[in-house]
Structure 1
Amino acid sequence: MIDVMAVRALVAVEQSGSVVKAAESMGYSPSAISQQIKKLEKQSGVALLERYGRGVLLTERGKTLAERGRQILDDVELLESTLLADPEKPEGTLRVATFSTASRGLVAPILKKLDGSGVRLSIIGEDPREAVDRVATGQADLAVVHDWQSVPLAIPDHLEVENLCLDDADVLVNSGHRLAGAAEVFRRDLLEEAWISTPAGAICSEALMQVFADLGRVPNVRAYDPDFSTHLEYVSLGVAIALVPQLGRPPLPENVIPISISDMCNQRQVQIVYRKTMAASPAIRHVVELLHHAAEQI
């Protein structure tokens, strides 16, 4: 009889392209994953992996087994989330991937409500692209992500998406800045400004780049930092301006002024994603409901 754990190991190797990375994602040692693959090879009588540089590739038979294995794993997950779960008693540990401001503004507020409920959250901070990948590959059960209108987020077909709320972003300037008295500004007014941005490649950084994209310019970024609290400090000191969403934003210092860009909508859609096979899970439904309620309070 084929071991589901062994099939899960093969699928993880296919998704990651490496025994080591598959082991990391599953929480096992590389040798344990290799043993599971060897078990499948012994049962099937054919090689399932082949060396390729420093990584591995699946053979043709390996690809076939992994494809059918994913279907089996989906069916097992669906069985566990529905037939084997008590709909009146959500329980278990959910692995949640979320970006930092949603962790502060949406996830943290629901933790008290989960105390004593039987549902526990294991939370990891991730950029939305990585969070979607974690859910898609089974490394997380649920993710809170954001989708900027200017930088769409790709969601695989086997994931369910629910909209939570819209999150506006403001341009933050020091109270002594030449634009501090303006209720709103045009993008061309900001062309020569020094900015602080999230790290290059992050979605929020790409959203800032898109502000000037059709003007044939890129913003003058003086500093990169993943923490919006650092952005507020730079603005407070008058050494940079910043594009900062409102969700989970710390209170603004008295000398930091928010203004809006009149000729561009800087808004992101905050969403929940989870695998469709988990849609009926009592624990997933309970947490999703709490997140919707938290979003309504914003």
Structure 2
Amino acid sequence: MLDVRRLGLLCDLTRLGTIAAVARANAYTPSAVSQQLSALEREAGVPLLERTGRGVALTTAGRVLAEHAESVLAALERTTAALAAVSTGLSGPLRIGAFPTAVRTLLPTALVALGEQHPGLELMVTELDPVDVPAALRERRLDVGLLNDYDVVPVVPDPSLDAVPLLDETVYLAVPATAPITGDPLRAVRDADWIMAGPGTLCHTATTLVCRAAGFAPRARHHADEFTTVLALVAADQGVSLVPQLAAERPPPGVRLIPLPTRRRTRVAYRGGAATHPVTAACVTALRDSVDAFLRR
């Protein structure tokens, strides 16, 4: 019989590439991970790993087993969801991970609704960058998480997770209210100073690509990852920036927002097979209702 936990470690190795990375993701030592994978090889009866210099790679059998292991893990999630569906009332922890603008604008309404409709739930929110959400879901530190990307920077889906669309946002060019903008707004600010997210972030990459498509490279004067800070700097005439709709709900005085064709897309993600779990379904419904209320505002 193949051990489910060890199958999870094999899937992690497929995704992360090294024993050390798998150990960090699971709070194990590299030696413990190696021992668990060796035990899985004995259970499978075939070699699953082969040495490649200082690292390891999956054998053909290892790749086949990892592919089927994803299906096994998803089936276990569906089984858990089916058992939960026959219980009376929703109870237990619901751990939600979301990026800062969603925590401020969407989560409060959703949490109130969940608390009123399902008082047995233990609601817990963690503010996370979207890039950290998949690992937190896989490691069961979260039950539901919000992911986003931009149409100019699509993110490759994680095969171990399922997701449904939640919000398709307008992206705005934020400029000082006194800035003379005529014609194409991006070309009008090609020589302006820019307020950009930190290099390597999704927002930084999206800004760079949007500007490149307009025929220039943005000149970063300030770096800020929190949109409240970004808008405060724009209001202080420190530069221009790109801001998604969730962050632009209440801009400070002195900021003009110009809609662009670029879109930011947010999805609700959870472990593969968990879509029918009553707690997951209740959370998705509450978030969608919150988005509807936000858009009506």
The answer to whether the 8 A contact 1:88-1:282 is kept is no
* 2:288 matches 1:292: yes
Q: Root-mean-square deviation (CA), in Å?
A: 3.0
* 2:251 matches 1:252: yes
SS of aligned partner of 1:22: helix
The answer to whether the 8 A contact 2:70-2:160 is kept is no
The answer to whether the 8 A contact 1:49-1:62 is kept is yes
1:117 corresponds to: 120
Cα distance in 1, alignment partners of residues 263 and 2 from structure 2: 49
Task: Compute the displacement of 1:79 (Å).
Answer: 0.7
Structure-2 change in CA distance of 1:237 and 1:150 (3 Å): same
Task: Compute the displacement of 1:265 (Å).
Answer: 1.2
Cα distance in 1, alignment partners of residues 101 and 266 from structure 2: 11
* 2:172 matches 1:170: yes
The answer to whether the 8 A contact 1:170-1:258 is kept is no
2:129 corresponds to: 126
> Which residue type is aligned with residue 30 of structure 1?
P
The answer to whether the 8 A contact 1:149-1:267 is kept is yes
The answer to whether the 8 A contact 1:170-1:244 is kept is yes
Cα distance in 1, alignment partners of residues 228 and 37 from structure 2: 46
Structure-2 change in CA distance of 1:4 and 1:267 (3 Å): closer
1:265 corresponds to: 261
- Unaligned 5+ segments in structure 1 are none
Residue correspondences, number: 291
Cα distance in 2, alignment partners of residues 133 and 221 from structure 1: 31
TM-score (norm 2): 0.82
Q: Which aligned pairs between 1:2-21 and structure 2 lie closer than 5 A? A: 2-21=2-21
Task: Compute the displacement of 1:192 (Å).
Answer: 0.8
Q: 2:273 aligns with which of 273, 277, 281?
A: 277
Cα distance in 1, alignment partners of residues 286 and 84 from structure 2: 23
Task: Compute the displacement of 1:279 (Å).
Answer: 1.3
- Unaligned 5+ segments in structure 2 are none
Task: Compute the displacement of 1:141 (Å).
Answer: 3.9
Q: 1:151 aligns with which of 146, 150, 153?
A: 153
SS of aligned partner of 1:39: helix
The answer to whether the 8 A contact 2:12-2:22 is kept is yes
TM-score (norm 1): 0.82
Identical pairs, percent: 27
